[in-house]
Amino acid sequence: MPLAAPPLSLYVHMPWCVKKCPYCDFNSHGLRGEPPPYARYTDLLLDDLDADLRDFGQAVAGREIVSVFFGGGTPSLFAPELIARFLDGARERLRFAGDCEITLETNPGTVEHGRFDGYLAAGVNRLSFGIQSFDDDKLKRLGRIHSASEAEAAVKSAQDAGYARINLDLMYALPEQSLEGALRDVRQAVALAPTHISHYQLTLEPNTAFAANPPPLPDDDRAWAMQEACEAYLAASSYGQYEISAYARAGHRCVHNLNYWRFGDYLGTGAGAHGKLSDTASGQVLRRWKTRHPRAWIEAAGGAARIGGEGPVSLDELPFEYMLNALRLIDGVPASDFAERTGLSLEHLATPLAEARRNHWITSDPGQLHTTALGQRFLNDVIALFLP
C-alpha cells in the first residue's frame, strides 16, 4: 500500500544540565569545569539541520512543521537570545504552521532558566517544567537541585510572564512514597492550574545510578494504587487522560508528543537526537540518530561523523514500531492509520491482534486499534505481542 506523509515535527536536543539525576537515562551531561559553548552549539544546530535537509530534501520538501520541542538536558540553560537565534534560522529553512506548538523544557531552579518573557518573545509558546515532586525530601532523594517552593514560584513566574500553556512533569512510586504522598503531589500540581500534567512512574533504567544502587521503591501493587488514585483525582479536576502518562485540559494536548504516538515524522537535530521520516517515493520509513556525546558531535561540525546511525525500518519491525507508540493512546487510533503510516496492510497485525483480543487486551472493534482498561494495565505484555 502507498505510504502517506504524516505531520512533521522538529526535535532539538540541548544536552547539558546542572547536575545529572540518578534516575535519568537521557543523553544529558552535568556541568563541569568551563561553561559549555552554548552559542557555538546553537549555530551548529542549524548546520546540522542544513545537512539533514540536504540529505532528506525530497522527503521534507513542501511540508510544514507542526511542532518544535527543545528537550534535554535542560534547554533553559540556553539564553532566550540563543533560542530566538535557532528559531529564526529554522523558520528561514522550513515552513512553520501558523499554530505551530513550540515547547521548551525547563527546570525550576533559578540557575537553570532564563527570563520567561524572553522565551515567549523568542517564539516559545509552551513550557514544560521538570517538577517531579513537591516534597522536599523526595526531591533530595531524586537528586533534584530545586525545592518545592522554588518549583511553585517558577511556575507562577512563567504565568505572570504570559504563558498560558504549561506542562508539569510529576513522578510517582518514589523512594518510600505513600499513596497519600503521591496524591499530595498531584493536588499541588493541580492547584497551580497548568494546562497539562505528565505523570510518570519512577522506573529503574539500565546504566543509571539508581540501577546500580536501587532505592527502596513501592511494590507493583502500591504503585498501581497510586496510579489509579491519581488518575481519578486528575479526571475529577478536568484533566483528561489521553495517553498512559499524559493528562490535559480540553484543547491542550501536546501536539508534539501526539505526533510521536501517532507515528508521525520528525527531524532531530543536536547531539544524540533521533529523527524519523516517511519517504513516500521509496515507500520506506527512515530513521537517523546523531552522535551522542556533545563534544564528538561538535567536533563533527555538520559532517558525516555527526551521524551515529541511520537506515530504513525493516518490514518486520514496522508493526512493532507502530504499535509501540499507538497503543499508548487511551482512545487508540483508526485501524486505517496503520496502512497510511507504514505502507503495510492490516494482515501484518492479524495474528498478534487475534491473541490480544482473546486476552481482552484490545477491543473487538475492527475499525479501531484500541486497548481495553485491562490492556492499558498490561501494556508491556500487549506491545510484546507485536515484536518481530
Asked if residue 59 belongs to a domain, the reply is yes
Looking at the structure of the chain, the number of domains it has is 2
CATH number of the domain encompassing residue 363: 1.10.10
Q: Based on the domain organization, do 209 and 354 belong to the same domain?
A: no
State the residue range of the domain holding 345: 318-384
CATH number of the domain encompassing residue 244: 3.20.20.70
Q: Based on the domain organization, do 101 and 237 belong to the same domain?
A: yes
Asked if residue 308 belongs to a domain, the reply is no
Asked if residue 291 belongs to a domain, the reply is no
Residue ending a domain, among 259, 283, 304, is: 259
Q: pTM (2 decimals)? A: 0.96
Q: Based on the domain organization, do 18 and 114 belong to the same domain?
A: yes
Q: What percent of the chain has pLDDT over 90?
A: 88
Q: Is the pLDDT of residue 365 over 90?
A: yes
Which residues sit opposite 69 in a β-bridge? 11, 103
Residue 107 identity = N
Burial of 162 (0-12, 13-18, 19+ CB in 10 A): exposed
Query: What are residue 164's phi and psi, to 5 degrees?
Result: -100, -25
Q: Based on the domain organization, do 100 and 206 belong to the same domain?
A: yes
Asked if residue 133 belongs to a domain, the reply is yes
3-class SS at 98?
strand
Q: Tell whether omega for the bond before 73 is within 30 degrees of 0, i.e. cis.
A: yes
3-class SS at 93?
helix
Q: Tell me whether strands 64-72 and 8-14 are parallel, antiparallel or unpaired.
A: parallel
Average pLDDT of span 146-172:
96
The pLDDT-based confidence of 271 (bands split at 50, 70, 90) is very high
Q: Based on the domain organization, do 250 and 354 belong to the same domain?
A: no
Asked if residue 23 belongs to a domain, the reply is yes
Which residues sit opposite 379 in a β-bridge? none
pLDDT of residue 110: 65
Average pLDDT of span 230-244:
97
Q: Which three cell numbers stand for residue 114?
A: 532564563
Q: Based on the domain organization, do 325 and 222 belong to the same domain?
A: no
Q: Based on the domain organization, do 342 and 253 belong to the same domain?
A: no
